[in-house]
Each structure stands twice: as structure tokens, then as C-alpha cells.
Amino acid sequence: MGVAQFLQPMETKKESLDIINEDEEKKIILREYRALLRALRERIKKGDKAKLRRAFEMAAEAHKDMRRKSGIPYIMHPLAVARIVVEEVGLGITSSICSLLHDTVEDTEITLEDVKHEFGENIAKIIDGLTKISNVVDIKANTTVQAENFRKILLTLADDPRVILIKLADRLHNMRTLESLSREKQLKICSETTYIYAPLAHRLGLYQIKSEMEDLAMKYTHPEVYVEIARCLKETKRDRTKYINEFIKPIKEELTNSNFEFQIYGRPKSIHSIWTKMKNKHVTFDEVYDLFAIRIILKSEPEREKEDCWKVYSAVTKFYHPGAERLRDWISVPKGNGYEALHTTVMGPGGRWVEVQIRTERMNEIAEKGLAAHWKYKDGAPSVQENKLESFLLHLREILNNPETDTIDFIQDFKLDLFTEEIYIYTPKGDMRVLPKNATILDFAFDIHTHLGFNCIGAKVNYKLVPLSHQLKSGDQVEIITSSKQKPQKEWIDFVITAKAKSTLKNYLKAERKKTADEGKALLQAKFADLHVPLNQINLAELLAHFKKTSGTELYYGIAVGNVDLRDLREFTITGEKLVAPLRDAARADQKVVVEEEIESATAKAAVPKGTEILIFGDQSDKVLYKLSQCCQPIPGDNVFGFKASDGIRIHRTDCPNAARLLANYGHKIIKAKWAKNKEISFLTGVKIFGLDDVGVIQKITNVISGDLRMNMRSLSIDSQDGLFQGNIMVYVHDREELNALCAKLGELEGIHSIERLESSADQG
């Protein structure tokens, strides 16, 4: 279907109103395509326009009978993704073509060969990468398959970063159009977004996309909190604007007098970041100290950037006192993803803290568009930032291409590396290495070389001897001490924090355990041979049950290290017979052997039929084996979901600390759940309360709970220090309304600073 055809009425027997609607749709589609062309205007070379038009025609024809859940023509989605890729990520014509075609091989009759024939090897390779990871968000498979899909995403990132950049744009548009999907689908997509896509956007320097993803996810996973913070931002917008204008006035005059070319404006904080600060610092919206944020963007020549940024910092601190601990110099030492800026927090008028970010135009584009902007500014030798990114991608390839890497463990460890703050450590020769905050001597050793980590016995930090578990601080100079006799120890796993160190150690220990288990297996085979008994699946299953082991490897390892005594075999019996001769019961040989992997799923499958909607505490409650998870302690009124575990159904809140991990990794075990009305049953829950330590505060609290509200209190613990107290209260409530009433009543007491629902750190499911 050609572009021009969008302006011609389609032959149809539908009523005229429908024809008008179809024509309007075609005009909207064509308008989107032309908007994409305008965005690419400066990057289009000779012949590019024809290629882009062909890609659009090909995608429009392939998707012509398809519509999104919202009812709009499907082609609007690839067009939207292409515009995000160009306008918000900063990529060019090749990525635009790939964005237009990204769903064709997966969802239509177009093949990869068709794409290759039409557009060449390079574009076909990117489309292939996008197709391979396209099912990661919808696949209903076991944990291993889910993790393998994440592994494919990361391998693709290591091979061609454009694939992941297009995938992030695809995910962002899906997040922007979530309202037309079911509640269950919304929660699943949001959880996967916060679990893997937002951290990846952060690591690649796409801060704007990362923030929007988090905000949109919060809109669906924590709608009440989202709406409340959005309301507060809207209500305070006028006051904030007035304050910002007052704050920047003297700075603006100073920079103008100094002949700087610049932009200066207030930067709104994202709803998710405000909420995170409120949670972590136990403060209200009004008490988020850096709610006010200013960004200053300079026009500066590359050789003067650093000098100019510090001059602007000097101008800011001429009028406002900086917080001593709040200066961040990412110009002298950029972040691992290439981010450069000066950050400081200063005391503004009226005793309000204001965060100030100082960047040049080049730094700002890199901050907004991350990896893509590095390519734009690439000129000759690679920059320090590009070297860091290449090092990151090289490290990723090394780990993921190792066949011994446990994918599920690696995904968990890798995520920790994505979001963490960075520290800068120096070798004895002065070379700098970037590590996550709280990294240890061992992390540093493994970061330099695997064998250095294996043989490490200690280190000298700033010329002082320290142990392996010593946590490093930014600026430390480290000399690793090794011994050829040293071997990795199991306890090392407990204090290393980088994905590279953890995965390398786990692979080594796993290989060593397998060697030991092989020795144990040989011992068991020899013992069975002495007894003239075959070591078959039936006998092995009996042994596992007798010695209470979950797998053959665990049994063999126990034999090798002496935890399992083979002398017990002479007294061991199977169905009444001593194990001194082959089993003679032929019927047993025909029995189905229970494979180890099936043991866990057997109970879970029996717990609830597929697709069942559970009614908790209703007429059907006695038919389903369930538990309320301790990690989030759900009560009636909470949004919940069910998780099929080995001991039945676990009920979790949708805002449970573990919800994102469970929904993202175990989609096949998630089932819908809702509360049935029942005012006769009470649920144990808790609140955390902060305030001023005053005489009689405990009595006031107990009077509210037991006297005013007549609630049954299980426990009350108070810890006071320096005139402040923190308390945990466990009470029985019938539903969330009662819990909210308790929080509101306690909040009215004089001296109470804040109240929040108590969360458990237990990892359930």
C-alpha cells in the first residue's frame, strides 16, 4: 500500500460514516509518517527517504487488518515507536526503518528473508534481534525460560545496542497506552518495566525515559499514591514557579554580566522519585527537601566546558550556601554510563533546599539521549565515556557467553549493578576503575582479572593492610595481595556485590561442587556394585526420600564430603526387603519415575485449576490451600494476586516488595485473586510510627487503639533516642478501612510525625 493511497477512499460497501472514519484514520496515519520525516530532516541522506517510505508501505500493508486493544490501527504503534527512537532517543534512519518493521516478522507473513532482500543484512540483523526478544513480556513459561529471554535481551545489548534502544522505545509506547488493557495485564507489564527496562534505560543514560517508565508504572501499581502526589504537584505549581523565578533572578543577572550564553529553568522532579524520597526518608511531600530543582545549560566550547561549569558553580554559591555533603562532580569523573554534570544542593530563600544541575549543551544531550548521543559526538579516538560503555558491554558479553553462568542468578545480580551509585578506585599505578558503592577488595580484584580474584588473600588500601571483605571508598588506592595457594571460598559470595564477582564465584563453586559430586557418585556406584544392586532411577528415588535429599547431585555431594554414610545401606530397606539383591517386583519397574524438576510443580498444580479466580475467605475458601504472604501482610481492601507455590497459593499485595520480581519472572504461576466480604475474620497487620519522645506518648497510643477504636493489639515496641521515638505496632483489623482509620487517628496525636504501614523484608513466594 503506497503512501499516496492513504489519500484515496478505499473500495468498500460500508456506510458513509464508516468511510469518513476510515479516511480520517488514513489522514492521521499519514500525518504521523510526515511528522517522522520532519524529525529526520537533518539526518536524511540521498536515497534514505525512499527506503523509509518503502518500510512504511511494507509495515502499513502487513498490519492493515490489525488493530491495537484500544481500537486504533496497528500501524500507529510502529510509527509512534519510530518517532520516540528519533525524537527522544536520538537515533537515525536505520533505527527508524527497524522501528517501523519491528513487529512484522513476529506478527505478520513477512519473513526475515523478505526484510533482508528489501533492506539488506544490517537491518535484517536488528529486526532479528527485536524478534528474538519480542516475547519476553508475554511468554507464559517457567522461570528458566523467562530468565533466558532476559539473557537474550542483554546479549543483544552487547552485540548491537540499537536493538535494546528500539526495544526501550517500544516498551515506552506500550506503557503510554496501557489504559486499554486488563488490570492483570497492566500489573504484569508494569512489573516487568520496573524490573528490567527502567534499570536498563538508567544504565544506558536515558534518564528521561527511565523516569517516565517509572512514573507510568506507578500510575497503575500504586494509583492512590500517584494521584495524591500529582495533586500536590498541581496545587503547589504556582508557588513553586514563583519561588523558582525568585531563586534564579540573581544567578541569571550574574551569568549575563559574565557574558555566558545559557538557559536556566526549573526542573520538575518525577512523581516516582518524590515517592521514593518520601519512603526512604520517612517524610511527607512538603518535607522532600530537593523538591525544587534548577538546571543551568551552557553553550560552551569543548576545551572550556569544565572551566565554565565551575565558574557557574561559583556564581550560584555567591548567592546561596551549598550543602557540604551534596556536591557531585561528574565532570572530572563522569558516571559509568557517560553522564557528565555538576550537582549541588544549596539553601535558597525561606530556608528551602534547592538542587542545582550545571551542564553544557553537549552534556545535556548525552544526559537526555544517553548512548545514542555518544555516537553523535564520536570524533576520532573514543572518549573516556565511550571506553566505559564499551568496557561495560564487553564485561556483559564475557559473562553471558559463559555456558556455566546461571541465568536466573545473573539477572538478579546484574540488576543490582544497573541502579547502584558509583565509586572510583585507583590501582598502584594510578589507573582508575569504576565500581558500585560498597564494593569490596574482592570486587576490585575480580574487576581487574578473574585469576586475581581467585588468588586474592588481602590488600593494601592507602598503604594499610585490610581483609578481603573491606568495603572501599571513592578515592582509595588499592594494591591486591595474592597467593598461588589461595582458592575461592563459599563465604566470599556473602560480601561481594558486583555481578561479575558473584557470577564468576558461583560458576567456580558450582564446578567444584560438581567435581565433588562426581566423586560421590563413583563411590555410590561402587557400593551398589558390591551389593549386586543396580543404581537405577527407582532405587535412586528411594535413596533420595530416605536420606531426605532433593536431587541426585545433593546426595552424591553428601556422600563425597561424608554427610551421608554409605554403611547405612546394609540396613536400608525398600518395600520390606533389604537392599542386598536386585528388586524382583517387576511391576515397580513399570512405574513412572518422578523427575526431580516435577517435584515442586506437582503440589502447585494440584492447588488450583488453571485460570481459577480465587475468592479469599468466601464460600470457596475451604477448597483452596492458601497463605497470606508475610512479606506484605495483605488485608481485605488491598489489591492482591495469587502465586502458585509448592505449598499452595501465596497471596501478595500488588505493591508488595517482591511483586515486581514475581510478576516479571513467574508469569505462569500468577493467578487473579480478590477478597470476598467477611467482617468476622481479623487480620494481623502493623504500622510504623515516628514522633517526639514525650511523657505519656505510649499511653496516648494505647488509648487510641484499645479505647477509641477498640482494636485488639498484639504487640507494641518503642525505641527512643535523642528526643525522638520509633515504634512498631501490630494490631488485628478486619480490612484496610480500619487500618486507614487507625493511621488517621494516630496522626491526630500531638507529637506524632509520621505513620506508615509496616512492611516485612521476608522474601516470599
Residue with more model confidence, 613 or 331: 331
Q: Is 128 among the residues known to form the active site?
A: no
Q: 310 CB contacts (<8 Å, ≥6 apart)? A: 342
Q: Give the model confidence (pLDDT) of 206-259 as tens digits.
A: 888 999 999 999 999 999 999 999 998 888 888 888 888 999 999 999 999 999
Between 319-328, 370-379, 388-397, 426-435, the lowest mean confidence (pLDDT) is in 370-379
Q: What's the CA gap between 761 and 64, in Å, rounded?
A: 50
Of all residues in the chain, the percent with pLDDT exceeding 70 is: 77
> What's the Cα-to-Cα distance from 617 to each of 584, 626, 627, 636, 640, rounded to whole Å?
50, 10, 11, 10, 14
- Reduced to 3 states (helix: H, G, I; strand: E, B; else coil), residue 437 is coil
Range of 65-69, 392-396, 659-663 with top mean pLDDT? 65-69
CA neighbours closer than 13 Å in the CB half-sphere of residue 177 = 16
* pLDDT confidence bin for 402, thresholds 50/70/90: low
Q: What's the CA gap between 541 and 600, in Å, rounded?
A: 15
Whether the CB-CB separation of 507 and 402 falls below 8 Å is answered with: yes
Residue 535 has pLDDT above 60, yes or no: yes
- Considering the entire predicted model, what is its pTM? 0.63
Whether the CB-CB separation of 724 and 691 falls below 8 Å is answered with: yes
* pLDDT confidence bin for 511, thresholds 50/70/90: confident
Q: What's the CA gap between 201 and 218, in Å, rounded?
A: 17
Residue 630 has pLDDT above 90, yes or no: no
Whether the CB-CB separation of 198 and 214 falls below 8 Å is answered with: yes
Q: 346 CB contacts (<8 Å, ≥6 apart)? A: 316, 317, 320, 321, 322, 323, 353, 354, 356
Q: What's the CA gap between 671 and 662, in Å, rounded?
A: 11
Q: What's the CA gap between 342 and 309, in Å, rounded?
A: 7
Q: Give the model confidence (pLDDT) of 72-82 as tens digits.
A: 899 999 999 99
The pLDDT value recorded for residue 589 is 34
Q: Is 106 among the residues known to form the active site?
A: yes
Q: Give the model confidence (pLDDT) of 239-254 as tens digits.
A: 888 888 999 999 999 9
Residue 755 has pLDDT above 60, yes or no: yes
Q: What's the CA gap between 700 and 746, in Å, rounded?
A: 9
Which residue among 18, 24, 106, 301 is the active-site one? 106
- Domains present along the chain, CATH in parentheses: 4-223 (1.10.3210.10), 224-369 (3.30.460.10), 507-593 (no CATH), 599-675 (no CATH), 683-757 (3.30.70.260)
Counting every residue written for the chain, the total comes to 765
Q: Are strands 352-360 and 292-298 parallel, antiparallel or unpaired?
A: parallel
Which residue among 23, 25, 107, 128 is the active-site one? 107
Instruction: Tell me the average pLDDT of the chain.
Output: 78
Q: Report angle CA 51, 55, 61 to the nearest 5 degrees.
A: 145
The pLDDT value recorded for residue 254 is 93
Q: Report angle CA 301, 361, 436 to the nearest 5 degrees.
A: 105
**Distance in Å from the first CA to the final CA of the chain:** 51
- Reduced to 3 states (helix: H, G, I; strand: E, B; else coil), residue 19 is helix
**Stretch (H or E) spanning 643:** strand 640-645
Q: Give the model confidence (pLDDT) of 31-53 as tens digits.
A: 999 999 999 988 888 888 899 99
